[in-house]
A = this chain, B = another copy of it.
Amino acid sequence: MAQPTIIFYDIPSSLDPQPWSPNTWRTRYALNYKGLAYQTVWVEYPDIEEVCKKIGAAPTRTVAPLYTLPVIHDTSTGVVLSDGPAIAEYLDKQYPDTPNLFPSGTVALQYGFIAAHADAITSLFVFALPKTNSILNPRSEEYFRRTREQIYGKKMDELTPVGDARVAEWGKYRDGLGKIDGWIKKSGGPFVMGDTISFADVTIASFLVWLKIVFGEDSQEWKDIASWHDGRWDALIKAFAKYQH
């Protein structure tokens, strides 16, 4: 493998290995799938804005600017880019000899699919955010807790519903994945486009691996997910294991 020319900015954790974020997994999986050499730079949450401004990475939300990771800096071209899908599009164009994540003609369909995916899995966050909070390093933990409690108007340890409400909300997540399972079945699977991995799969896998990491593979939550939809999600994460580093 060539010397790393891509610097990849990711958010650390107290785990070993450190990667956990579903957003940055989209870029990590993309880089590994393409076999591109890169070097990870770990940035704690409170430092993201300063780092982005310093290297010239655009905010991903422009009204009340919000700086987020993933960001890459491709030192061979000078390009600095934020936002997982945009980074994958860039890697496809800049490195056309690597496996394509947006097969010809599918880019708009992929964007629509990932919007539908995001809509289908919204119930997941009240489960995943407190677990995520617990695996962050102290400086990020304080930032993450404060900003998420602001968004949800709830204390972090009150975010996950309990009792019947928990069952109902977890069921909504299962049904959301069920909708996506129904679509994938139409293609024949195992991937969204059939035999070929595309950015839609990278997105699905990134949110699943997040859960597997923060809950742990022996958790009831992961066991549930692994049992749903004829084991589709467990199989997907296993198919992505070779890009999970």
Contacts and interface: CB of A to CB of B under 8 A. Distances in A.
Interface stretch (A40-48, A111-119, A234-242): A111-119
A103 B108 CA distance: 14
A119 B122 CA distance: 14
A107 interface: yes
Given A116-B119, A119-B115, A119-B116, A109 B107 contact: no
A105 B186 contact: no
A193 interface: yes
A103 B103 CA distance: 12
Given A89-B186, A186-B89, A117 B106 contact: no
A65 B194 CA distance: 32
A113 B119 contact: no
A187 interface: yes
A105 B103 contact: yes
Given A89-B186, A116-B113, A186-B89, A106 B108 contact: no
A89 B185 CA distance: 13
A72 interface: no
Interface of A: 89, 103, 105-117, 119-120, 179-180, 182-184, 186-187, 192-194, 196, 198, 200
14 contacts: A89-B186, A105-B193, A105-B196, A106-B193, A107-B186, A108-B187, A108-B192, A109-B110, A109-B113, A111-B182, A112-B112, A112-B116, A112-B200, A115-B119
Given A115-B119, A119-B119, 17 more contacts: A105-B187, A105-B196, A106-B193, A107-B186, A108-B184, A108-B187, A108-B193, A108-B200, A109-B193, A111-B182, A111-B183, A112-B112, A112-B180, A112-B200, A113-B113, A115-B120, A116-B119
